[in-house]
A and B are shown apart, each in its own frame.
Chain A
Amino acid sequence: MTDNSNRDTALLVLVHGSPRANANNDMYRVLEAIRIRGVYPIVEAGFLECNDPLIPDAIDLCVSKGATKIVAVPYFLHTGTHVSEDLPGLLSEGKERHPGVEFALGPFIGKSDKVTDILIARTLGALAPYRTAED
Chain B
Amino acid sequence: MDAIVILAHGSVLCGSGEALWAHAERFIDHELAESVAFGYLNYTDPPFIEAVSRCVAEGATRIVVTPYFLAPGKFVRVDVPAAIAAAKAQYPDIEFVVGDVIGYDDLLADAILDSAANALPEEKWGEDLKRASAHCRADSACPLYGTPACPRQPFAPETATEGATQP
Q: Do A and B come from one complex?
A: yes
> Is A122 a contact of B99 with CB atoms below 8 Å?
yes
**Given contact pairs A81-B12, A122-B102, A113 touches B26 in the complex (Cβ within 8 A):** yes
Main secondary structure of the interface of A (DSSP, over half): helix
> Is A120 a contact of B30 with CB atoms below 8 Å?
yes
Instruction: Name the residue among B27, B116, B131, B149 with the largest chain A CB count within 10 angstroms.
Output: B116
**Interface segment out of the listed B46-54, B68-76, B78-86, B156-164:** B68-76
**Given contact pairs A115-B102, A127-B97, A106 touches B11 in the complex (Cβ within 8 A):** no
> Is B108 a contact of A123 with CB atoms below 8 Å?
no
Contacts of A20 in B (CB 8 A): 73-74
> Bound state CA distance, A83 and B126, in angstroms?
10
Contacts of A130 in B (CB 8 A): 62, 97
> Bound state CA distance, A125 and B8, in angstroms?
19
Q: Give me 25 A-to-B residue pairs in the complex whose CB atoms sit less than 8 angstroms apart, sorted by A's number.
A: A33-B108, A39-B113, A74-B115, A79-B11, A79-B18, A79-B129, A81-B12, A81-B144, A84-B132, A88-B122, A88-B126, A91-B122, A104-B121, A106-B115, A109-B112, A114-B114, A115-B107, A115-B111, A116-B27, A120-B30, A122-B100, A122-B101, A123-B66, A127-B97, A130-B97
A residues with CB within 8 A of B: 11, 13, 18, 20, 23-24, 26-27, 29-30, 33-34, 37, 39-40, 71-75, 77-81, 83-85, 88, 91-92, 95, 102-127, 130
Q: 6 tightest CB-CB pairs across the interface, nearest first?
A: A106-B115, A104-B119, A110-B19, A126-B99, A112-B111, A106-B119
- Besides A79-B132, A107-B128, 5 more A-B contacts (Cβ < 8 Å) are A13-B112, A107-B115, A108-B128, A113-B26, A126-B100
